[in-house]
């Protein structure tokens, strides 16, 4: 199929594959300095003490009334009685497009972050403390700019926490510069299980880790009653590093009563010719075993293309739905109309406009930037994407505030970690099913099964939100 946007992915296959997560998160610094300047979203409150006690001519000084008063102090690095300084790391999409000759639609997100922080500040901030942002941008290719940003935020600006973090090949691993090296809280992309353990509660996410997501897809398919129509399956990991995840997913399918013919992993990643031969062997084996569905883990693009080209009659389940979000703007090469593609997402993007808190964030961004925020699935060709950054930043700020308030007025790393088991009625804008604890810091428990439509470049729901927690 001809790419309807008139661009070929071939010259940037490796980069765009690795940027799948970036397409989902869309974060970037827009217009702010890449130096150490702090940008306060609103002025600090006039008073550093809040009280629910009513004013009477003869105040009641009983112990019960005294406990109503919240006294704020300078409790930690980046936390004063008046404000909490947060770092906001973001991808410089303008520079990314220029340097790599790309045409990604995402906007630089610092103005979006300022608008949303301002919204929450107007609602009282964090127990009266206002949120002040320090913006730093980076390129999601390699670790160099990410490492520089980490040092600027943690050692120069001395922020209390960071919103968003790093994504992209080489940059994603630098997130541990915040949590492990500099003992700085990170609210953003989901860590791996090993990263979460090393962070010790300092890294939290509104999303779902890959370790949880992949086997959850099998449970979601079973819960939606779709396994019976898929027939025998094979599971193919995108690299040998993902073999363990593929084995775990296969076991989940078997536990749900599905016949798993075989499990394999790509050993030729990056080599189109060698991958084509490897895929050809698997297709012959699949046909000999009456396999009708291939489950593919990871974003290995050459593997995907060769399966679509050599076996368009099969059904494909993309086991990690977050790795194909860019399909809404650039369709995968090799895919033909009629080939069935199933995957899981967090939910239809248009549902964001049914959530009151997300609508507040969207309204704040529209007012601050004088633009209209349209859902990604409804975005006309050539229009800039403000939606993804708005939704993700709204969720990250909301999560930070809920945990920080549960930590109480004496806000420190230690009180933050203790609060992970104490957040009452945690809610994340736009999600029906979430949970948080010191043992589970990736809060999302919700998946929606969707089918990809190549003609409209859209993901059409085939299930209601499923609680896989």
Q: What was the pLDDT predicted at 323? A: 66
Instruction: Return d(Cα 129, Cα 50) in angstroms, integer.
Output: 10
CA distance 198 to 226: 38
- The mean per-residue pLDDT over the stretch 238-258 comes to 91
Question: 10 Å Cβ neighbour count for 211?
Answer: 18
Which homologous superfamily does the CATH classification assign to the domain defined by 10-208+350-431?
Response regulator (3.40.50.2300)
Please, are residues 246 and 265 in contact by the beta-carbon 8 Å criterion? yes
- The mean predicted confidence, pLDDT, of the chain is 86
Sign of the torsion formed by the C-alpha atoms of 209, 212, 217 and 223: negative
Residue 22 pLDDT more than 90? no
Give the gyration radius of the chain's Cα atoms.
23
Higher pLDDT, 204 or 469: 204
Is residue 44 predicted with pLDDT exceeding 60? Answer: no
Angle 243-255/210-223 helices, nearest 10 degrees? Answer: 20
Kindly write down the DSSP assignment for every residue of 361-422, as one continuous string. Answer: HHHHHHHHHT-----GGGPPTT--B-HHHHHHHHHHHHHHHHHHHHH-SS--HHHHHHHTTT
Model confidence at 20, pLDDT cuts 50, 70, 90, reads very low
Please state the domain extents for the chain: 10-208+350-431, 211-345+448-467
Cα 45 from chain centre: 32
Domain 211-345+448-467, CATH: 3.40.50.2300
pLDDT of residue 303: 94
Among 62-76, 159-173, 295-309, 323-337, the minimum mean pLDDT is found in 62-76
Question: Mean pLDDT over residues 315-339, rounded?
Answer: 83
Q: How many CB atoms lie within 10 A of CB 102?
A: 16
Q: What's the pLDDT score for residue 68? A: 63
| Mean pLDDT of the region 389-398 | 98
pLDDT value of residue 187: 98
* Tens-digit pLDDT profile for residues 107-143: 999 999 999 999 999 999 999 999 999 999 999 999 9
DSSP element (H, E) containing 116: helix 110-122
CA distances to 147, 173, 366, 426 from 362, in Å: 31, 31, 6, 21
- pLDDT at 52 (0 to 100): 40
Closest CA to 96 of 152, 27, 148, 151: 27
Neighbours of 408 (CB within 10 A): 16
């Amino acid at each position: 199929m001809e790419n309807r946007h008139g661009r070929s992915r071939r010259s940037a296959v490796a980069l765009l594959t690795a940027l799948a997560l970036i397409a989902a998160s869309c974060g970037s610094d827009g217009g702010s300095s890449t130096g150490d300047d702090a940008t306060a979203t609103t002025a600090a409150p006039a008073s550093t003490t809040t009280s629910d006690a009513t004013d009477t001519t003869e105040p009641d000084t009983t112990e019960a009334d005294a406990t109503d008063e919240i006294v704020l102090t300078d409790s930690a690095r980046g936390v004063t009685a008046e404000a909490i300084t947060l770092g906001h790391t973001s991808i410089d999409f303008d520079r990314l497009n220029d340097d790599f000759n790309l045409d990604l639609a995402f906007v630089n997100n610092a103005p979006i972050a300022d608008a949303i922080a301002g919204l929450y500040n107007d609602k009282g901030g964090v127990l009266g403390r206002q949120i002040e942002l320090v913006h730093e941008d980076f390129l999601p290719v390699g670790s160099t700019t990410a490492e520089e940003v980490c040092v600027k935020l943690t050692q120069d600006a001395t922020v209390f926490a960071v919103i968003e973090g790093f994504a992209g090949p080489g940059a994603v691993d630098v997130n541990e510069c915040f949590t492990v090296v500099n003992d700085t809280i990170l609210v953003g992309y989901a860590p791996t299980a090993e990263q979460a353990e090393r962070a010790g509660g300092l890294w939290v996410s509104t999303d779902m880790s890959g370790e949880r997501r992949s086997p959850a897809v099998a449970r979601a398919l079973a819960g939606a009653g779709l396994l019976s129509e898929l027939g025998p399956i094979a599971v193919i990991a995108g690299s040998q590093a993902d073999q363990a995840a593929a084995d775990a997913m296969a076991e989940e399918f078997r536990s749900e009563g599905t016949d798993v013919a075989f499990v394999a992993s790509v050993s030729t990643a990056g080599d189109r010719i060698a991958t084509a031969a490897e895929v050809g062997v698997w297709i012959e084996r699949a046909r000999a075993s009456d396999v009708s569905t291939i489950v593919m883990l990871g974003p290995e693009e050459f593997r995907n293309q060769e399966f679509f080209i050599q076996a368009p009659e099969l059904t494909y389940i993309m086991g990690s739905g977050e790795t194909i979000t860019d399909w809404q703007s650039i369709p995968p090469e090799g895919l033909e109309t009629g080939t069935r593609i199933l995957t899981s997402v967090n939910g239809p993007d248009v549902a964001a406009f049914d959530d009151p808190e997300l609508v507040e964030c969207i309204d704040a961004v529209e007012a601050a930037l004088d633009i209209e925020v349209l859902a990604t699935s409804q975005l006309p060709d050539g229009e800039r994407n403000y939606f993804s950054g708005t939704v993700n930043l709204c969720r990250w700020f909301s999560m930070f505030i809920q945990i920080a308030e549960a930590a109480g007025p004496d806000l420190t790393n230690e009180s933050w970690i203790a609060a992970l088991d104490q957040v009452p009625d945690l809610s994340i804008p736009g999600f029906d099913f979430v949970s948080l604890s010191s043992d589970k810091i990736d809060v999302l428990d919700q998946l929606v099964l969707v089918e990809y439509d190549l003609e409209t470049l859209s993901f059409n729901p085939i299930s209601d939100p499923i609680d896989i927690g």
